[in-house]
Amino acid sequence: MAYTTIDDPELYFQTKIYTGNGADNRDIALDGSVDMQPDWLWIKKRSAAASHRLVDSVRGSSKLLFSDQNYAEVTDANEVQAFNSNGFQLGTDAAVNENGQTFVAWNWKAGTSFTNDASGTGIGSIDSAGSFNNDSGFSIVSYTGTGSAGTIKHGLNSAIKMIITKGRSFADDWLCYHSSLGNGKYIILNKTNAEASSALPWNSTSPTSSVFSVGSSGTTNNNGGTIIAYCFAEKQGYSKFGSYIGNGNADGTFVYTGFKPSFVLWKNTTSAGYYWQIMDNKREPNNPAGLNLFPNLSNAENDYGDACDFLSNGFKFRTGSGGINTSSQTYIYMAFASNPFVTSTGVPATAR
C-alpha cells in the first residue's frame, strides 16, 4: 500500500476557481482547511481566450510569463498584486479579473528562500537563488546563464523528476526536462512538438539531489540571460512524474499514481501536433471529467465529454483521442494529489 508523509496535500498545492468582478485590490482566498501562501501561481481565464499568466514569489507578483508564448518577462502591477497568507490579490486587468468571466488558479507552495554562491559553497558552478520546500519536493530557481556547460543548485534534497525553464530577459521557448524522457531529450511547453533529442539543454546529465545540469543551449543557459526554473522532485502519495502508453479505446489506459489526483498535466511525446492538457478536480469535481485547458494555447476551456476518471489511486482515460490516449503513443505527465491512496495512519482514499 502507498503510504505518505503528506496526509494533507492542500498544504502544498491547491486549485482555486473564481469569477471575475473587475474590482481593484481583490483578495482571492484559497479553499483548503489550512492556510497556504502560494509561491507559484498559474492563472487561466476559462470562459474566453486569454494567455496563461504565471507569476512567482522569486521574480515578484507583478512579473508575468505566459506558458503559451515565448515572450520575455513583462511587468504589470494591475494583474497579480500580491501573494497573501492564504491566496493572492488581483487588480482590475481583464486577463485575471474580468467582470463575469470564469477563471482557474493553480497554486504551489515553496516558501524557504535560498541563495547560492557556487564558488563559495562548492555546490554547482552557476550561482542561483530561489525558494524551496523539501517536504513537497518543489523549488523555484533563478539564475543567470553563462553559455557554457554548468550545474545549478536547485535547493531540494532529492533528485528532480521534472524541470520547466523559461528565459526572463530574452524571448525563447519554455524547455522541459522530464525523467521519463531522459537527459538527452527535451520537450517544449509552448508548442505541440514531439520530444526532441539534444545534449545542449541538460548536458546529457540527469539531476542529482543537489544540482541540475545545463549545456550550452541558448534556451536553458543563455549567456548573460536571466532564467527561471520550476523544479519538481517526486513525493510518494503527493506527486508523480511518469509516462504511459495509450491504448486507443474508450476503456482507456489506467495510470497508477498512488493517490487520488487533484491536477494532471500531460503531453503526447511521440507525435507532433498534440496539445499539452490540464485537468483538475475543482473545475469538474465528478467522474467522468472532460474540461481541459491547454498550456500552449490561449483558448477558452474545452469540454471533451467523458474523457477521464480521477480514481483513488490514479487516473483512467475514457477516450482514444490523439491528445489523450492514442494507441501505442507515449505520453508524459505531472500529477498532484487531493488525497493519498493511504494516509500515514492507514486511512484509505476513495474515488470521487
pLDDT in tens, 245-303: 999 999 999 999 999 999 999 999 999 999 999 999 999 999 998 999 999 999 999 99
Those residues whose C-beta lies under 8 Å from the C-beta of residue 114, and which sit 6 or more positions away, are 129, 130, 131, 132, 153, 155
Under the banding of pLDDT at 50, 70 and 90, the label for residue 349 is: low
User: Domain spans of the chain?
Assistant: 9-108, 112-232, 239-340
The region, left, alpha or beta by phi > 0 then psi within -120 to 50, assigned to residue 320 is alpha
Under the banding of pLDDT at 50, 70 and 90, the label for residue 339 is: confident
Helices (H), 19-170: 94-97, 118-121
Evaluated on CA atoms 14, 180, 59, 81, the torsion sign reads negative
Is the pLDDT score of 347 beyond 70?
A: no
**For a pLDDT cut of 70, what percent of the chain falls above it?**
96
pTM assigned to the model = 0.96
CA-closest candidate to residue 132, choices 65, 201, 209: 209
> For domain 112-232, is the CATH number 2.60.40?
yes
**For a pLDDT cut of 90, what percent of the chain falls above it?**
91
Under the banding of pLDDT at 50, 70 and 90, the label for residue 84 is: very high
DSSP string computed for 207-251: --SSEEEE-S-TTTS-TT-EEEEEEE---TTTEEEEEEE---SSS
> DSSP letter at 146?
-
What is the pLDDT of the chain when averaged over all its residues? Answer: 95
Under the banding of pLDDT at 50, 70 and 90, the label for residue 1 is: very low
pLDDT in tens, 186-213: 999 999 999 999 999 999 999 999 999 9
Q: Is 279 helix (H, G, I), strand (E, B) or coil?
A: strand
Under the banding of pLDDT at 50, 70 and 90, the label for residue 352 is: low
Q: For residue 284, what are the CA distances in angstroms to 85, 250, 352?
A: 26, 19, 11
Is the pLDDT score of 23 beyond 80?
A: yes
Those residues whose C-beta lies under 8 Å from the C-beta of residue 282, and which sit 6 or more positions away, are 15, 16, 17, 31, 104, 262
